[in-house]
Amino acid sequence: MTYTLYSYVRSGGAMVEAALAEMGAPYEVRPVDLHTDEQHAPAYLAINPHGKIPALVTPEGEVLTETLAILLTLEERHEEAGLLPSRGSAERARALRWLAFAATELYPIVEILDYPGRFAPSLNSKDATRAVAIEIWRDRLRTMESQLVEDQPYLLGERFCLTDIYWAVIARWGFQPGWTAEHTPKLEQLFHAVAARSKIAAVWGDRWGRG
Ligand SMILES: N[C@@H](CCC(=O)N[C@@H](CS)C(=O)NCC(=O)O)C(=O)O
């Protein structure tokens, strides 16, 4: 009953790994080296034809991709772990709203930041493309920040949920000491609260994600 997680250190796979750890679900990590473009090797494209990590193979052999779908599927399969508030509750609606916000409004920007050449109309506009993406990214981080309450560790206050895992990794991707301290200090605290949870700390360590 072991899951197989295709991941790389400090990638979106860290979100899935944290969720698996919180759920107490056994898994093994298969590293996919983004620095050597292994995500585009035929062996990996056979798993995810879109050439992105993470991918998760269930113990039954079903391949899951898209981090949001992976997390929601895991939550359904391990409901007893309580990683979302109860169905129909206002808290759950809020958790899902901001989970989707991070997945649709932030995560796609990462590709522009990491691979601006894929989006720039010409080679010499790569830096300008990336600079625009950074501004959009920061604006959206500020929106996340506006949803957090001082001295409350998580989005839902004291109640930890899947959205906190997603937000913690987004927070780390956006970490820049001076800017973060000034504009998103509560998001930074959320990262530390998530990373300090015993089950997550055990798998993230100081690298927050293997691979
Ligand atoms: N829509 C995908 C995006 C996944 C994604 O962008 N993953 C990055 C790593 S964090 C990746 O594989 N990048 C390699 C590439 O774009 O070639 C998801 O939500 O899981």
Ligand 1, pocket residues at CB < 6 Å: 11-12, 34, 39, 51-53, 66-68, 107, 110-111, 115
The span from the CA of 84 to the CA of 72, in Å, is 9
Specify the pLDDT at position 5: 98
∠ Cα 71 201 197 (to 5°): 75
Specify the pLDDT at position 126: 96
102 CA from centroid of ligand 1 (Å) = 14
Q: Return the residue whose CA atom lies nearest to atom 5 of ligand 1.
A: 52
Q: Return the residue whose CA atom lies nearest to atom 17 of ligand 1.
A: 52
Q: What is the number of the ligand 1 atom nearest to the C-alpha of 67?
A: 20
6 CA from centroid of ligand 1 (Å) = 11
Specify the pLDDT at position 205: 87
Q: At what angle do helices 185-195 and 126-145 cross, to 10 degrees?
A: 80
The span from the CA of 11 to the CA of 209, in Å, is 7
Blockwise average pLDDT, block size 10, the chain, 211 residues: 95 97 97 97 98 98 98 98 98 98 98 97 95 97 98 98 98 92 97 96 78 39
Specify the pLDDT at position 207: 75
Specify the pLDDT at position 210: 45
Q: Are 70 and 64 in contact (CB under 8 A)?
A: yes
202 CA from centroid of ligand 1 (Å) = 24
32 CA from centroid of ligand 1 (Å) = 11
Distances (CA, A) of 197 to 64, 107, 157: 26, 23, 15
CA atoms within 13 A on the CB side of 41: 12
The span from the CA of 189 to the CA of 155, in Å, is 11
| Ligand 1 pocket, mutate which of 7, 36, 47, 52 (most atoms under 8 A from CB) | 52
5 CA from centroid of ligand 1 (Å) = 14
Residue 112 has a CB neighbour count (10 Å cut-off) of 19
**Residue given tokens 């929106």 in the structure block:** 143
The span from the CA of 40 to the CA of 30, in Å, is 15
The span from the CA of 61 to the CA of 40, in Å, is 21
Q: What is the number of the ligand 1 atom nearest to the C-alpha of 118?
A: 16
Specify the pLDDT at position 174: 86
Using CA atoms of 40, 45, 51, 53 in order, give the dihedral in degrees to the nearest 10.
-110
At 6, which helix (H) or strand (E)? strand 3-7
Question: Domains, the chain, ranges and CATH?
Answer: 3-83 (3.40.30.10), 90-197 (1.20.1050.10)
Specify the pLDDT at position 160: 98
